[in-house]
A and B are shown apart, each in its own frame.
Chain A
Amino acid sequence: MTWNDVVFLLPEIIISIGASLLLLAPVVGWRQRETSAKWSMLILLGITALTVIGCSYWVQEIPQSRSLAGMFALDGFAIFFKLIFITAIAMITLLSDDFLRESRYSVWEYYSLLGFALCGMMFMVSGMSLISIYIGLELMSLSSYILAGFFKNEEKSTEAAMKYFVLGAVSSGILLYGISLIYGVCGSLNLLDIGRALSTIITNDALMFGVMLLGAGLCFKMAAVPFHVWTPDVYEGAPTPITAFLSTASKAAAFSIFARIFYLALHDFQLDWSNVLATISALSMVLGNLAAITQDNVKRMLAYSSIAHAGYALLGIISLNSLGLRGVLIYSLVYVFANLGIWATVLMLRRHEYGGERVDDFEGLSRRAPFWAFAMVIFLLSLGGIPPTAGFIGKYFLFAAAIQAGFGWLAILAVLMSAVSMFYYLRLVVAMYLREGREADVAITRPLQIVAATCLIITLLLGIYPTPLINQATESSRWIGARAAIIPHAGR
């Protein structure tokens, strides 16, 4: 490490210093100043975002933008995702505001942990070595375990934390064992070196086993089907803003790192691997969407929906072409903002402790808050991938990539499953517009309005005029695309 590396790591350094200060603030007598906690967090996120943007301009002048002995890359892909993470965390900060004020729990530690989780995600998405990726992943996971159990006097929250912790720790162990086997075969932990080694050596059992274990660990983090069992329970039990965090930022981080590892290191291995991943993707889409239909709890329904979305995102990773890589970028952004909008609307309904958690709670929302009911419809349409919304653009790229890579059957299945998903999304719409039973109880506060409105603007604007997003995704995926030597057409 040299002084030069410090500049590369500046956003991470700033966020970790800031998170440490947030941790220290309550013990030096600021515990009661809860409003300042929120503002400190937002200012910290703003500074971090500006630093990331500054770094992105600086990086354009230096093509070989790698540091820490090649363990850390500040390429377009990383910057794109870092900005998504920071925006998502800022929105989650706004979502948490009222939620925390009503509880008796300490606000400062909460924001500090969110900051550390953000630091982990930002470090992970820049990782060029399995070491740095693992450290980032664990920083994110450990913070998430604590955040899931943050409401420590509620049995549900603690139980969610326990389940998340046990399964998360086991999956980390499995992931690590896979990494150790890959290291044993390739002799390096650097993604580019692994990629080079794999292009020369013949596939052997140890490598096969290693990649399978690594893939299993990653599938757990993004909640793809055989490794999804934790998702509904943890989503239901965790505090709602933390559920929003787990289903948006944390999940986008898992997409990003899955794509980075597979596009940079394992592209030559793809041939042996793609059928396994295609099966996982198909199972995730089918099981996630079908299980979501029967759920009456909105948090559980969205948990199953997020399992299905992991299946869609996997399409972009399996296809291994430039459309797929751009699809992962676009889809992550679209998915994060549509989902955050939904969580903002769910939180508006939270008049008492668990309000807004049942589908029935949405009854009559169209009369109490017509605008936000309309926004909710847009977010749901975006998740379903219906044209005037941004979700369509994301799904279009992923499905086209799958067809181009010769996975036509998977694309057809994905379209069918999207249609199925509209069925349970429409249940919420029906509850909001057609049920006359009673009027929904709402508490529409300014922070929730800001989040929902921003998400609405992003979802509609990018749906109607997607060109800037597509151009940005093309630009951002260039470096990885060149390294992965993506072959533009099918036949791999």
Chain B
Amino acid sequence: MPEAIPSTEAYLMLSGTLFAVGLIGVIIRRNMITVLMAIELMMNAVNINLVAFSHRFASLEGQVFTIFVITVAAGEAAVGLAIIIQLYRLKSSINVDEASELNG
């Protein structure tokens, strides 16, 4: 393995941090668009993991999965954006806290 490529552990630390940033973002942010971005961060953390492991095992399976994760994440973003638009049309707000019609 060439010297320039970081070890798998380095990638794991990066993806772990990215995932935690995403998860914390979902929890603390109240703006739906920001929540959507945080969810994308979580997905991308997974992609880093998969590609790093795929490189380590020299197997393509992880990279194939990455392609699927990317496309599914795009589909999820599209559905999420559509729901946000509809919520905005009804409530004129995309704040998570203002969606409180259902008590729970």
A interface list, Cβ under 8 A from B: 130-131, 134-135, 138, 142, 145-146, 149, 152-153, 155-156, 158-163, 165-166, 169-170, 172-174, 176-177, 179-181, 183-184, 187-189, 229, 232-233, 236-237
**B75 nearest in chain A by CB position:** A142
Contact B104 A158 (CB under 8 A): no
The 9 A-B residue pairs with the shortest CB-CB distance in the complex, in nearest-first order: A173-B42, A180-B49, A233-B102, A184-B53, A176-B46, A233-B104, A159-B99, A169-B39, A138-B72
For B65, what are the chain A residues with a Cβ–Cβ distance below 8 Å?
130-131, 134, 179, 183, 189
State in angstroms the CA–CA spacing of A179 and B49 once bound together: 10
A173 near B39: Cβ-Cβ < 8 Å: yes
Tally of A-B Cβ pairs under 8 angstroms: 121
- By a CB distance below 8 angstroms, the chain A residues around B39 are 166, 169-170, 173
**In whole angstroms, what is the CA distance A374 to B53 when docked?**
58
A173's partner among B43, B56, B80, B83 (CB-CB below 8 A) is: B43
- Give the residues in chain A near B8, CB-CB below 8 Å: 184
- What is the CA–CA distance of A256 and B72 in the complex, to the nearest angstrom? 22
Contact, CB under 8 Å: B42 / A177: yes
Cβ contact within 8 Å between A184 and B42: no
Instruction: Return B39 CB to nearest CB of chain A, in Å.
Output: 5
A166-B35, A176-B46 as given contacts; A145 in contact with B79, CB under 8 Å: yes
Query: Which residues from chain A contact B35 at a C-beta distance below 8 Å?
Result: 166
B45 contact from A138, A177, A184, A236, Cβ within 8 A: A177
**In the bound complex, CA of A134 to CA of B65 (Å):** 9
Q: How far is A177 from B18 in the complex, measured between Cα atoms in Å?
A: 11
A156 — nearest CB in chain B belongs to which residue?
B101
| Nearest B residue (CB) for A169 | B39
Q: Is the CB of B49 within 8 A of A184?
A: yes
Question: What would be 8 A-B contacts, judged by CB atoms less than 8 Å apart?
Answer: A146-B79, A159-B101, A159-B102, A162-B84, A166-B35, A184-B8, A229-B104, A233-B104
Residues 67 to 104 of chain B near chain A (Cβ within 8 Å)? 68-69, 72, 75-76, 79-80, 82-84, 86-87, 90-91, 96, 99, 101-104
With A142-B79, A166-B35, A184-B12 known, 18 other A-B pairs at CB within 8 A are: A134-B65, A138-B72, A142-B75, A142-B76, A146-B82, A158-B83, A159-B102, A160-B102, A165-B79, A165-B80, A170-B42, A173-B46, A179-B46, A180-B49, A183-B62, A187-B57, A189-B61, A232-B102
Q: Nearest Cβ in chain A — how far from B38, in angstroms?
A: 9
Flag B7-47 by CB within 8 Å of A: 1 or 0 each: 01000100100010011001000001001000100110110
Q: Which residues of A contact B68 (CB under 8 A)?
A: 131, 134-135
With A134-B68, A170-B26, A177-B42 known as contacts, the answer to whether A149 contacts B86 (CB < 8 A) is: yes
- CB nearest to A153 among chain B residues: B90
Interface centre among A149, A169, A179, A181, by most chain B C-beta atoms within 10 angstroms, is A169
Instruction: Tell me if A169 and B104 are in contact (CB < 8 A).
Output: no
Residues of A within 8 A of B104 (CB): 229, 232-233
Residue on B nearest A148 in the bound complex, by CB: B83
> Measured between C-beta atoms, what is the minimum distance from A385 to chain B in Å?
27
The contact of B76 among A172, A174, A179, by CB within 8 Å, is A172
- Chain B residues with CB under 8 Å of A236's CB are 102
CB distance from A276 to the nearest CB of B (A): 20
Nearest CB of A to B57, in Å:
5
Asked whether, in the complex, the Cβ of A162 is within 8 Å of the Cβ of B83, the reply is yes
**Minimum CB distance partner of B46 in chain A:** A176
Known: A131-B65, A161-B83, A180-B53. A156 touches B43 (CB 8 A): no
Q: Which residues of A contact B90 (CB under 8 A)?
A: 153, 155, 158
Chain A residues near B45 (CB-CB < 8 A): 177
Q: Are B61 and A173 in contact (CB under 8 A)?
A: no
Interface contact A162-B87, CB-CB below 8 Å:
yes
